[in-house]
Amino acid sequence: MVHEPKISLKIGELLEVLGFVWVRKFQIFNAKDDTSAKSCTSSCGHIHNISYPFRLNDDPKYCGDVRYTLSCESNITVLVLPSSGKYYVQAINYNDKTIRLLYPGLVNTNCYSMPRNFPPSTDRLYFSWPSTSIYYLKCSNPLNSSLYVDTAPCLNNTSSSSSQPKTYIATSRSGPWNAEGMALGHFEYSVDYSNVSYKDIHNALVYGFELHFVLFGICQGWTRNDACFPDTIPGASTLD
């Protein structure tokens, strides 16, 4: 009489096999999601190349990196930085890893317009070098120095009384301690500011400033193959 061989697995061995199968499925699932994250492309307004690591907030959850989420408001691409506020996206350069931003409040055809918020603080995702810092100062006495640019006729009324405080611009890496406002602009340090008008500076502000984006930092969801996914995609939090 031929007896069938009996296969017996201890509970520990069975759990080990099941665990291997689960991990393998998990790895395949993550590989698919990572490929999808880097293949999504979106557009908003004149920004047509929103792709990894960036994503729009209404994109599918697997697209891009959740840390680099943009929004589309009235056909304008917007980046919100918690420490600084809202900025309008003007361009994204994936080769240089830069994103060019515009301050809300600045209008190209109106040199009276000014930035509504302060420059963004450096964090783990973005840093602002090599943009130039621009400082707004109010002075009760006229300044006759090539280090300062008179904002007339935009912010200073040339016909106003000499006793009225006047606004000047200083451009340097370490600005004056008593500045009332600050912005970032795209300038060359070699420029002779004694021959620059405030309208020139305003035009540079309207062009925007650049931040470098770096592909690392703390992920608020879970990560796989350098991509960050939100916790709303299931099954990933246990194997970060």
Question: 156-188 pLDDT, tens per residue?
Answer: 665 555 567 788 888 765 566 567 778 887 766
Who has greater pLDDT, 27 or 112? 112
Residues 195 and 156 reside in one and the same domain: yes
Query: What are the structure tokens assigned to 18, written together?
Result: 């099941």
Q: Are residues 206 and 220 in the same domain?
A: no
| DSSP 3-state percent helix, strand, coil across the chain (nearest 5) | 20, 30, 50
Q: Is residue 221 one of the residues assigned to a domain?
A: yes
Query: Is there a domain that residue 2 lies in?
Result: no
**Which residues form the domain of 191?**
98-213
pLDDT at 48: 93
Mean pLDDT estimate for the chain: 74
Residue 141 is assigned to a structural domain of this protein: yes
Residues 112 and 204 in one domain: yes
Same domain, 174 and 202: yes
Position of tokens 């589309």?
Answer: 72
| 155 and 198 fall within a common domain | yes
In-domain check, residue 8: no
What the block records as the tokens of 135 is 């400082």
Q: For residues 84 and 78, give the distance between their C-alpha atoms in angstroms, rounded to a whole number.
A: 13
What is the sign of the dihedral through the CA atoms of 47, 53, 54 and 57? positive
Residue 239, in any domain of the structure = no
Give the pLDDT of residue 143.
Answer: 81
Give 147's pLDDT tier (boundaries 50, 70, 90). Answer: confident
| Residues 62 and 102 both lie in one domain | no
pLDDT at position 223, please?
Answer: 58
Based on the structure, what is the number of domains in the chain? 2
**191 shares a domain with 118:** yes
- Higher pLDDT, residue 96 or 165: 96
Task: Establish whether the linkage from the previous residue to 53 is cis, with ω within 30° of 0.
Answer: yes
